[in-house]
Structure 1
Amino acid sequence: MNNYKYRITDELIKKKLKGKGAVLIEGPKWCGKTTSAEQIAKSILYLAKPDEVKQNLLLADLNPSLLLEGETPRLIDEWQVAPKLWDAIRFEVDHRNMEGQFILTGSSVPADQAEILHTGTGRFAWILMRPMSLFESGESNGSVSLKSLLDHPQQIVGMNLLDINKIAFLVCRGGWPRATFLEDEIALEQAYDYYDAIVKSDISRVDGVKRDSERVKQLMRAYARNQGQSVSYEKLKQDMISNDNDSLDSDTILSYVRALKKIFVVDETPAWNPNLRSKAAIRMSDIRYFIDPSIGVAALGVGPNDLIKDLNTFGFLFESLCMRDLKVYAQALNGNVYHYRDNTGLECDAVIHLRNGSYGLIEIKLGGDSLIEEGAASLIKLRDNIDSTKMNRPSFMMVLIGVGKYAYQREDGVYVVPIGCLRN
Structure 2
Amino acid sequence: MKSANAYQKRIIDQLLKRNLEELPAILIEGAKAVGKTETCLQLAKTVYDLDNESIRLLLKNSPEIILNNEIPVLIDEWQLLPEVWSFVRHQVDQGLPAGSVLFTGSSIKVNSRIHSGAGRIIRMTLRPFSIEERQMSDRYLRVGDLLEMNQEQKISGITDKTLTDYLDEIFRSGFPGIRNKSEHARHLLLQSYVNNIVDHDFQENGFMIKKPESLLSWIKSYAAAIGTTTKFQTIWQAAMANNSESASRKTIEYYHEALKILDIIDEVPSFLPVGKIYSNLARAPKHFMLDPAIALEILGVDQAQLVNYKVPSYIGIFNQSFIGQLLESLVYQSLIVYAEANDAKLSHFRNHTGTHEVDFIIQKQNHLILFEVKADPEAKDSYVKHLNWFEELVKGEFEVTKVLLNTGKVAYTRNQDHVHVIPISMIGS
Whether the TM-score (by the shorter chain) exceeds 0.5 is yes
Deviation at 1:144, TM superposition (A): 1.2
Name the % identity: 29
Deviation at 1:82, TM superposition (A): 1.4
- Greater Cα shift, 212-221 or 332-341: 212-221
Map 1:275-286 onto structure 2 (within 5 A).
Answer: 275=274, 279-286=278-285
The residue aligned with 2:246 is: 247
Deviation at 1:69, TM superposition (A): 4.1
The residue aligned with 1:321 is: 330
The residue aligned with 2:399 is: 393
Structure 1 gaps, min length 5: none
Q: How many residues align?
A: 412
**1: CA distance between counterparts of 2:68 and 2:233?**
50
**2: CA distance between counterparts of 1:82 and 1:62?**
11
1:308-362 Cα shifts (integer Å, max 9, x gaps):
23381111111111001111111111112101111242111100112x4322011
Q: In structure 1, the residue corresponding to 2:286 is in which secondary structure?
A: coil
**1: CA distance between counterparts of 2:381 and 2:184?**
36
Distance 1:366 1:302, change over 3 A: same
- Greater Cα shift, 294-303 or 133-142: 133-142
**2: CA distance between counterparts of 1:253 and 1:382?**
35
| 2:139 maps to amino acid | G
Map 1:24-35 onto structure 2 (within 5 A).
Answer: 24-35=27-38
Q: Is 1:129 equivalent to 2:126 in the alignment?
A: yes
Distance 1:349 1:265, change over 3 A: same
TM-score, normalized by length of structure 1?
0.91
Mapped contact 1:173–1:191 kept (Cα < 8 A): no
TM-score, normalized by length of structure 2?
0.90
Deviation at 1:279, TM superposition (A): 4.7
Mapped contact 1:137–1:177 kept (Cα < 8 A): no
The residue aligned with 2:423 is: 418
Q: In structure 2, the residue corresponding to 1:367 is in which secondary structure?
A: coil
Q: In structure 1, the residue corresponding to 2:405 is in which secondary structure?
A: strand
Q: In structure 2, the residue corresponding to 1:165 is in which secondary structure?
A: helix
The residue aligned with 1:42 is: 45
**1: CA distance between counterparts of 2:199 and 2:219?**
13
Deviation at 1:103, TM superposition (A): 0.6
Q: In structure 2, the residue corresponding to 1:399 is in which secondary structure?
A: strand
- Greater Cα shift, 410-419 or 137-146: 137-146
Distance 1:260 1:122, change over 3 A: same
Mapped contact 2:405–2:421 kept (Cα < 8 A): yes
Deviation at 1:60, TM superposition (A): 5.0
Map 1:13-412 onto structure 2 (within 5 A).
Answer: 13-48=16-51, 52-53=52-53, 55-59=54-58, 61-66=60-65, 69-114=68-113, 116=114, 118-152=115-149, 154-275=153-274, 279-310=278-309, 312-344=321-353, 345-354=355-364, 356-369=365-378, 372-388=380-396, 391-394=397-400, 396-401=401-406, 403-411=407-415, 412=417
Structure 2 gaps, min length 5: 310-319
Deviation at 1:57, TM superposition (A): 4.4
Mapped contact 1:233–1:250 kept (Cα < 8 A): no
**2: CA distance between counterparts of 1:374 and 1:277?**
26
**2: CA distance between counterparts of 1:253 and 1:247?**
10
CA RMSD of aligned residues (A): 2.1
